[in-house]
Structures are given as C-alpha cells and as structure tokens.
Chain A
C-alpha cells in the first residue's frame, strides 16, 4: 500500500471551511484514497473515500488531483466537534473479497483544532 504524507497539525476557525491536504505520490492505479478521523478517546470514524473523481457526502468533500498524487479533504463548515486527528489512507479495494477493509495503514494523521 502507498504511503501518505500529511501536515502534523492545522487550525481552523469555527464556521469556516477546513481543508486538509494529503500527498500520496506513489499511489497505484487500483488504490483508493480513504479518510478517517479519530476524536479523542474514541475509535476511528470513516469519513469518505474515492478513486479518481471528486466525492461528496453528508460529512465532507474529497478532491483528488487529476494525477491522483494528492488529495484534499474539505469540511465545509467546521464546528468544535470536528476537532480530531484526521487520517488519510490509500489502499486497494477488492470487490467480493472477504475482509477487504482490513489492513488499513494509519500514519500519524493531522491534528485539526477548530477554534471558536
């Protein structure tokens, strides 16, 4: 699985958009980009994933560059409850293969602090 590089920490004002970057220059063609977050003292929470097209769900948007070597997670209106460590992970996704979600390789992530 490809490695990712994320900034160690970021600050964001409450109500503003939080843009979290991730570099994954060695990503291969069949690898997806996943984002998880971990709020203090809780287990990681899935946010979003994508292959090459931009994706949006109720939590966030994922923008993947055309060459797929980097991506940005966007929280459109950050709240204090979005303060967490955000992990960017790249891995293959094998359809109809048992346990395809195992072996998520977490780095240290980006600690996002949302301030009032």
Chain B
C-alpha cells in the first residue's frame, strides 16, 4: 500500500504568480483534504474533495482552488500569490469509512 505523496517538495514563487501543487492519495482512499501550515502554527484546513466534488471548505479566499481526479489524486491551485501564502502545504487522504487521515510530507512554498 503506497502512502500519500506530494510534489514538488519545495517551491519558490514570486508574488502575483500562480502555483499548482499535486497530491497522490493512498491506495483505496477516495477523500483528499488540503491544509496550510504556517511556521510555528498547527495545520489549517483549506478544503476537502470527495469523489471529485468539493464538500467542505475552510476560511480561505477563492484564489485557493482545487481539483480531484477520477483516480482520486488532487491538485491545489493558488492564484495571485501573496507573501503570506508562504507555508507548508499538506495533503491528507482517507477512506469514507475510516477514522484516520494519512498525511503526505508536504510542499514547502516560499513566496518572494
């Protein structure tokens, strides 16, 4: 059973640019959630996808958007990057019948 993998591991972007982060969920998992973790803080929920539909969203602006594909992998897109978007972005996958979420190692995004 493969784990959750995220790419890239590190990324540097310029303010105003757009970025796409990718996540491959664990085998058999149909739910993917994305979190933003600023330095020294706990992860903050961005949104969740279940069977290719967004079914939950945290307090993030519309320039944060996502997709889930038929194989349950997912993308997080952020438009018009701001300096405060610099953070570790975490993806988590789960089964709808299971109690636990499995997290990837994250993508470290730096906006300059």
Interface residues of A (CB under 8 A from B): 32, 34, 41-46, 49, 85, 87, 93, 95-109
Stretch of B11-19, B79-87, B96-104 on the interface side: B96-104
Report whether B41 and A101 are in contact in the complex, using a CB–CB cutoff of 8 Å: no
Q: Size of chain B's interface in residues, with CB distance under 8 A?
A: 33
Q: Which residues of B have CB within 8 Å of A43? A: 4, 90, 92, 103-106
- Pick from A44, A45, A87, A109 the residue with the most CB of B within 10 Å: A44
Bound-state Cα–Cα, A95 to B97, Å: 6
Report whether B42 and A102 are in contact in the complex, using a CB–CB cutoff of 8 Å: no
Contacts A/B (CB < 8 Å), 17 sampled = A34-B99, A42-B106, A43-B103, A43-B105, A44-B90, A46-B102, A96-B96, A99-B31, A99-B33, A99-B55, A101-B98, A101-B100, A102-B33, A102-B94, A103-B33, A104-B92, A106-B44
B56 on the interface (CB 8 Å rule)?
A: yes
Report whether B48 and A102 are in contact in the complex, using a CB–CB cutoff of 8 Å: yes
Report whether A87 and B42 are in contact in the complex, using a CB–CB cutoff of 8 Å: yes
**Using a CB-CB cutoff of 8 Å, which residues 2-31 of chain B contact chain A?**
4, 30-31
Q: Which residue of B lies closest to A49 (CB)?
A: B99
Q: Which 7 A-B pairs have the closest CB atoms?
A: A43-B103, A106-B42, A102-B48, A98-B50, A46-B100, A99-B50, A101-B94
